Structure 1
Amino acid sequence: MTLPIIAYGDPVLRKVGEDIDKDYPNLKELISNMWETMYNASGVGLAAPQIGLPIRLFVVDTTPFSDDEDLTKEEQKQLNGFKQVFINAHIEEESGEEWLFNEGCLSIPDIREDVNRKERIKINYLDDTFKEHVEIYDGLLARVIQHEYDHIEGILFTDKLSSLKKRLLKGRLANISKGKINVDYRMRFPNQKKGR
């Protein structure tokens, strides 16, 4: 089932997610709905806060990035078919040089900005069978994971922009929260006037 994606301005996007256990209600169905919602919106990642749940859960599928001709063959191979559920994730370490990449977000449609992130992460998480993993990821794969991880920490990519950029985007962000935007997937807007 495709779920509405929560738009910028909703308080749930600012909450630090809670850890969950195997007995979280309808977890299998929730994960399935998150995949469907993400693919329907042409995303490469989706975090539970983006569907209104302040829990430590996100999904990532970087396959759409794997045909980018600017990437090396090795990077394309790393991204192709990478599909993973992250439960109770905690980044243990970020390392390497910071690098800029143009990011967008399903909760903040039509806004893309260059964001600085470290090139490598070490992350501890549980998969959808609750098996524990400690992995090191780098490059674009690390960036997608960092972006989704920020969601379960109550952080948005716009928080990482300069104060000037934030001021320039203020009106557009306000319009998103009011639903004054055209998107081709279901969204829920926190400040939309009723009866319009």
Structure 2
Amino acid sequence: MKVIKEFRNKKPGFVIDIHDALAPSPAAIAAGTKPQESPSELADHLHQSDLLVLDYNLEGPGGLRGKKAREILRMVLSNNHFNLIIVHTGEDDLDEVMAECLLSLMQSCTSQFDGKLLAELKLLDDILDEMGDEEEFDRNHLSNIFSTQEYLEVRQKDALGIASFMRGEGRLAPLQKWGKDLGLKGGS
């Protein structure tokens, strides 16, 4: 309340909107049901705030680990009216929260690929699924040798990291070795 009062005392005052993202949507209430607002419905009335404090753990303990908050973050950042968004969380690993938020805002790499490469990736994914069914491959092992942080660094157009990966050197060498151990071959 002290912060809100301070915002209201400014001349001109800051725009303050307090909203419970877990509340049912107005359309749902009118229809006599109580589903929660979608992220896009929520973003529609959070359109002209100077500051948004977003609770990362909207689902509560044991929830979806920030999924709804990341969807809201993506929706509100698609408009031009926010000056600042602060993500509040009780999570222990803040680096992981930051990485998850960044990932949710990034466009998929595959959106830039042509049809031939997408077909090759689909084939690779099918092969890895088969290997997983036969317990020859564990997708979880991949996160041990290629962290989210390394992925984000590579996505920043880390040409040196990619070049050293292609040579089987540097911090991504274990990823290349893992691919070779699986029998994967580099393509053109």
TM-score range, shorter chain: under 0.3
Structure with the greater relative contact order (CA < 8 A, sep ≥ 6): 1 or 2? Answer: 1
TM-score, normalization by structure 2: 0.24
TM-score, normalization by structure 1: 0.23
Structure whose alpha-carbon radius of gyration is higher = 2
1 or 2, which has the higher strand percentage? 1
